[in-house]
Amino acid sequence: MQALVESFMNRAPIAYWLFAIGAVITIIMEVLGVPPLIFALGMYLPLELNTPALVGGWISHMINKRSESAGGSAGRTMRERGVIIASGLMAGGALGGVFGAALRLLPWYAEERIKTPFYDNDVLANSISLIAFLGLCIYLWMDSMKKSTQTEG
């Protein structure tokens, strides 16, 4: 992104073939049914910021598929819930990245100061984080399905 912006701002020669490659990748993603924005996010965002966006988009997609079979007001409620879930996970991931970057601007900040009880044990810390994240995803899925059944009856 930096190279692209600098090229435009300095009126330097631009590698248009990169735009062509991006257009071809976008067309291929559309043909395969993969939303190109999700794919594009994965190309330049770090994994820890991109994971909530990808999972949010996937949960929203699955809820939208389920809402098509529900139909009516129940389906509409499910679709709206899917959009809220995806937006919330994307915004939460972005805010987490901004918060982490802002902390690094403070002269007194050091990562050693912010330690969880399992900070030094990578396997345990990652396992607990994964279980908590999966639990959140399962809760969001089940809650969106529960809301849809309440609107039907």
d(CA 150, CA 147) in angstroms, rounded, equals 5
d(CA 67, CA 75) in angstroms, rounded, equals 4
Q: Domain span at residue 142?
A: 47-152
pLDDT tens per residue, range 32-73 = 887 777 666 666 667 777 777 778 778 878 888 887 777 777
111: tokens are: 């990562």
Pair 133, 90 in one domain: yes
Phi, psi of 125 (to 5 degrees): -65, -45
pLDDT tens per residue, range 85-125 = 778 877 887 788 788 888 888 888 877 777 777 777 889 88
CB 60 within 8 A of CB 86: yes
Residue 40 covered by a domain: no
Pair 21, 68 in one domain: no
**The predicted structure's pLDDT at residue 4:** 62
133: tokens are: 């994240």
Highest mean pLDDT among 5-14, 24-33, 52-61, 83-92: 24-33
